[in-house]
């Protein structure tokens, strides 16, 4: 994985602009005006060479040039000197920022590796728990079947009560909807959904649209 790069923008500031991620191509770097520490160093070297060359030519200009030529040359020499100073300051700032960015990047990678290690361990544990879930869900099927059959019998009796008889209670605690206990009761057997594992494998217990072959299906009434 690529290490982070640190960029210093060509602006009136010595503060480096730090960006994490893959280094950008040189063409893109030039177009956006951002420079790495290595690029700033190279610019400072070029400015130094330019300034040295201009200084070397100053004696000849003093001998044969006009006062304006000398003034123009001195202005170019001063500009080159300022460019060197600026490059030195920006390079120092970029080196510090690059070191910090590298440290931050390594720390983040360490955190991600530790998270990945824990997640791999959790994945193995989940695989075991998923197998246990199937076993436990299948154990609930006979229990839910008896509750559903009992609920159906109670509903049939309450639909045709003999004269003077009290309604048969549901046996299980009455469910409440939206916090209201006076709503029609629905047995737990009709509310439980136990999905099977995998993609589009239906339910171990619950409502399905269309049973598939070799699927354990217990549809609700």
- What is the tens place of the pLDDT at every residue in 53-85? 999 999 999 999 999 999 999 999 999 999 999
Half-sphere exposure of 86 (CA within 13 A, CB side): 15
Tell me the pTM.
0.55
Radius of gyration of the chain (CA): 40
pLDDT one-digit tens code per residue, 144-202 = 999 999 999 999 999 999 999 999 998 988 877 777 767 778 888 988 999 998 877 78
Q: 78 and 100 in contact (C-beta within 8 Å)?
A: no
DSSP letter assigned to residue 11: S
Pair 31, 119: CB distance under 8 Å: no
C-alpha span between 26 and 44 (Å, rounded): 18
Tell me, what DSSP letter sits at residue 177? B
The CA-CA-CA angle for residues 72, 75, 81, to 5°, reads: 145
Contact 4, 102 (CB under 8 A): yes
């Amino acid at each position: 994985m690529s290490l982070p790069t640190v960029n210093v923008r060509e602006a009136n500031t010595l503060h480096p602009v730090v960006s994490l991620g893959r280094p950008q191509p040189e063409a893109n770097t030039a177009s956006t005006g951002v420079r790495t520490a290595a690029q700033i160093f190279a610019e400072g070297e070029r400015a130094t060479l330019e300034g040295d060359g201009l200084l070397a030519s100053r004696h000849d200009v003093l001998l044969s040039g006009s006062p304006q030529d000398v003034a123009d040359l001195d202005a170019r020499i001063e500009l080159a000197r300022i460019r060197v100073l600026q490059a030195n300051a920006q390079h120092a700032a970029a080196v510090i920022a690059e070191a910090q960015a590298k440290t931050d990047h390594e720390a983040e990678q360490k955190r991600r590796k530790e998270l990945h290690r824990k997640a791999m361990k959790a994945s193995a544990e989940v695989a075991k728990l998923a197998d246990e879930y199937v076993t436990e869900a299948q154990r609930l099927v006979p229990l839910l079947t008896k509750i559903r059959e009992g609920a159906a019998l109670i509903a049939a009796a309450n639909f045709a009560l003999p004269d003077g008889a009290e309604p048969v209670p549901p046996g299980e605690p009455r469910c409440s909807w939206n916090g209201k206990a006076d709503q029609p009761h629905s047995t737990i057997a009709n509310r439980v959904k136990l999905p099977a594992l995998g993609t589009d494998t239906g339910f171990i217990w619950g409502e399905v649209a269309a049973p598939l072959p070799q699927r354990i299906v217990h549809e609700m009434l």
